[in-house]
Amino acid sequence: MVVPVAATVPSMPPRSGAARRLTGLFLLGAAGLFSATAVIGQSSPGAADAETEEGIPVTDALTREKCGACHTADAKGNLSRISWVRTTPEGWDQAIKRMVRLNGAAVTPEDARHIVRYLAGSHGLAPEEAKPVSYLVEKRVIDETNIPSESVRTSCAACHAFAQPLSWRRSAQEWKNLQDFHVALYSQADAQYRRPATDRPGAVFGETEPVVNKPGAIPVTAGQVALEYLRKVAPLRTPEWTAWEARKQAPRLAGKWLVSAWLPGKGKYYGSFIVAPGATDEEFKTSIALRSVTGAAGLTATGNGVVYGGYAWRGRVTSGATPTAPDAIDQPFRSALTFSPDRKSASGRWFWGDYQEFGYDVTLTRADGSPTISAVWPASIKAGTKGAQIHVYGDAFPSGLTAKDIDLGTGVTVTKLVSASSGEIVVSVDAAPDAKAAVHDVSVGSAVLAGGLPLYRKVDYLKVTPETSLARLGEAGGKRGIGYAQFDAWGYDNGPDGKPHTADDVKVGAVDADFSVEEFQATWYDDDVHYVGKLSNAGFFSPSIDGPNPQRSGNRNNYGDVWVVAKARTEKDAQGQPLTARSYLVVTVPAYKRWDNPGVSE
């Protein structure tokens, strides 16, 4: 089974739209435990008969044995309820645990692993369906701006992440069953569903006009809008799933993979990810070797992983070291990756921390024996630069290379091949003063890294990432861990159109900046900046202990919200002032509730 992770019931209402959306994602309340997992309620006689859609038969013998006692089978091999839902490995893992705890299902951990693997493949999601909600299993800090309407938010994302329902595909009847199940268990769900709808997701229904509830008519409710929306965007059968069922193959991933990774606060890493076969076709053993492009300490570690549905990797890794700090790179970590259908690349996150707040953004590229580029450093080059040294990392670079074999795009001239080995090439380059801001491909012979080298003319503005985030206060006595936060400042060129925040802007890379906190004006005189915690000059935020704090008015806790401000050390605006940007940070109470985390890895 899996390791418990924290979740909590908020002790105060959020005070802004961003805080509310973050609350939906990270402050899972008691209702969130089952609203995510209540895919399958206790089976009732005739449930399958009520279905008008074609189900997905359950063919695995153990799954039929363990689940069939309650979920009745029909002549086509369908099991009631189960055959009309699809979801992620995490979703099936949660559902099985719920059956064990509430309904006494006799399932051993070994049985559960087998059933999850089977259902994640036969009743799972296609890669195209899973990718938009991958941030949930990758534990990313994200402001869910994908909620299409206030009515849908009220019904589906007031208690948990919107990615929870979007991680499922159901028949029309099963979506209604889920709503009914919420009403039966949670009074607040009934109240939320019954609220008059204030809007509709127009893009879904082909309309933009607000709901008009005529006098005397039964009003359209938020629950009805949400139900209609989910039936529309997440039906049981989709073209993506039909195509994936036909093309799905065993995950033949053994071999060498090249790693390109970014760790907030610590920068760029590159290296190798060696995958060896495990006990079954879906299991693998791994070894990792990472190096920092800045010469900082690297990482050597081993682990294991399981692939669900032919593409969804879940794993664990440990270096065997004793970490010296919460953000130390030698911490044991979990991994959630999505492999491409052609099994030539993967992307995802390796993460750790009491709230999974630390982690690498990872891209893997298969090293198949042909020349392959995985990463380039520095991250960008400025127009007019002369004699810049560019490092190209990869695998199987041929011997006998010359400067003419390396191409960095129009306006960038390779003047000298400084050094070359099978895994790293160093070149000296000049960038033309009149070169246009653009993202350049990097080529070494036949190998190409698309978009590997941005060229910029000027850093026009900054962004702080994450743009909205959440940290957790610690608890006196250390009973519950602290939820930290790490911020980076990124520079952008306005691009050819000269306008900021448009599609042609060029992301230059991380910018050296000094970080500080400023008051977020939500409540007069609450002075959150003095109580919520400390932010280092390098952007590492350490929250305070929870409280209550006698130094605060009303003996309040140390929660609050603040701006995290980055001031560039060298980049200036048109008036000669340092470029600045800011990010919104909510500092909330510890996670007082814990349950099995919605993740699988072994």
Q: How confident is the model at residue 214 (pLDDT cuts 50, 70, 90)?
A: confident
Q: What is the pLDDT of residue 40?
A: 44
Choose one of 172, 207, 240: the last residue of a domain: 240
| Co-location of 303 and 350 in the same domain | yes
Q: Give the torsion sign (CA, 554, 555, 560, 566).
A: positive
Peptide bond into 548 cis (omega under 30): yes
The Cα 5–Cα 355 span in angstroms is 8
Residue 19: which H helix or E strand, with range? helix 17-26
| Co-location of 139 and 165 in the same domain | yes
What average pLDDT does range 347-359 have in this prediction? 96
Q: How many residues does the chain have?
A: 602
Count Cβ atoms below 10 Å from residue 68 Cβ, excluding itself. Answer: 16
In a domain, 189, yes or no: yes
| Co-location of 189 and 295 in the same domain | no
Residue 245 main-chain phi, psi, to 5 deg? -55, -40
What average pLDDT does range 514-530 have in this prediction? 91
> C-alpha angle 60/62/65, rounded to 5°?
110
- In CATH, what number is assigned to the domain containing residue 488? 2.60.40.10
The Cα 121–Cα 55 span in angstroms is 15
| Co-location of 415 and 357 in the same domain | no
| Co-location of 300 and 160 in the same domain | no
Q: Is the pLDDT score of 221 beyond 70?
A: yes
What average pLDDT does range 445-456 have in this prediction? 96
User: Cα dist. 425→381, 393, 434, 574 in Å?
Assistant: 17, 7, 26, 37
Task: For residue 501, give every residue at least 6 positions away whose Cβ sits within 8 Å of its Cβ, in sequence order, or none.
Answer: 461
Q: How confident is the model at residue 103 (pLDDT cuts 50, 70, 90)?
A: confident
Record the tokens describing residue 123, joined without a space.
Answer: 């009743």
pLDDT digits (tens, 9 = 90+) for 143-176: 898 999 899 999 999 989 999 999 999 999 999 9
Count Cβ atoms below 10 Å from residue 253 Cβ, excluding itself. Answer: 24
Q: Is the pLDDT score of 332 beyond 60?
A: yes
Q: How confident is the model at residue 10 (pLDDT cuts 50, 70, 90)?
A: very low
pLDDT digits (tens, 9 = 90+) for 539-563: 999 999 998 999 998 889 999 999 9
| Co-location of 449 and 470 in the same domain | no
pLDDT digits (tens, 9 = 90+) for 116-145: 999 999 999 999 999 999 999 999 988 898
11 or 223, which is more confident: 223
Query: Poorest-confidence range of 85-94, 194-203, 266-275?
Result: 194-203
**Residue matched to tokens 């099936």:** 92
Q: What is the pLDDT of residue 354?
A: 92
SS3 161: coil
Q: What is the pLDDT of residue 553?
A: 87
In a domain, 12, yes or no: yes
Choose one of 194, 214, 240: the last residue of a domain: 240
| Co-location of 309 and 397 in the same domain | no
In a domain, 374, yes or no: no
| Co-location of 349 and 488 in the same domain | no
| Co-location of 440 and 554 in the same domain | no
Indicate the pTM of the whole model: 0.89
DSSP 221: B
In a domain, 600, yes or no: no
Q: What is the pLDDT of residue 387?
A: 97
| Co-location of 208 and 170 in the same domain | yes
Q: What is the pLDDT of residue 141?
A: 84
CB 82 within 8 A of CB 127: no
Q: Is the pLDDT score of 400 beyond 90?
A: yes
The Cα 24–Cα 147 span in angstroms is 11
| Co-location of 32 and 166 in the same domain | yes
Expressed as residue numbers, the domain containing 415 is 384-456
What percent of the chain is modeled with pLDDT above 90?
78
Q: Is the pLDDT score of 512 beyond 80?
A: yes
In a domain, 22, yes or no: yes
- Of 154, 234, 229, the closest CA to residue 193 belongs to 154
Q: What is the pLDDT of residue 33?
A: 31
CB 461 within 8 A of CB 494: yes
The Cα 22–Cα 138 span in angstroms is 16
| Co-location of 24 and 172 in the same domain | yes
Q: How confident is the model at residue 591 (pLDDT cuts 50, 70, 90)?
A: confident
Note every long-range contact of 91-94, with CB atoms under 8 Å and residues 24 or more positions apart, other chains counting: 91/36, 91/37, 91/39, 91/167, 91/168, 91/598, 92/116, 92/119, 92/120, 92/123, 92/124, 93/2, 93/596, 93/598, 93/599, 93/600, 94/36, 94/37, 94/39, 94/596, 94/598
In a domain, 379, yes or no: no
Number of domains in the chain: 4
Q: Which ranges constitute the DSSP H helices of 104-234?
A: 109-122, 127-130, 134-137, 150-156, 163-166, 172-185, 187-194, 202-205, 222-233
The Cα 323–Cα 306 span in angstroms is 26
Q: Is the pLDDT score of 46 beyond 50?
A: no
Q: Give the torsion sign (CA, 592, 594, 599, 600).
A: positive
pLDDT digits (tens, 9 = 90+) for 429-441: 999 999 999 999 9
In a domain, 373, yes or no: no
Q: How confident is the model at residue 44 (pLDDT cuts 50, 70, 90)?
A: very low
What average pLDDT does range 66-75 have in this prediction? 94
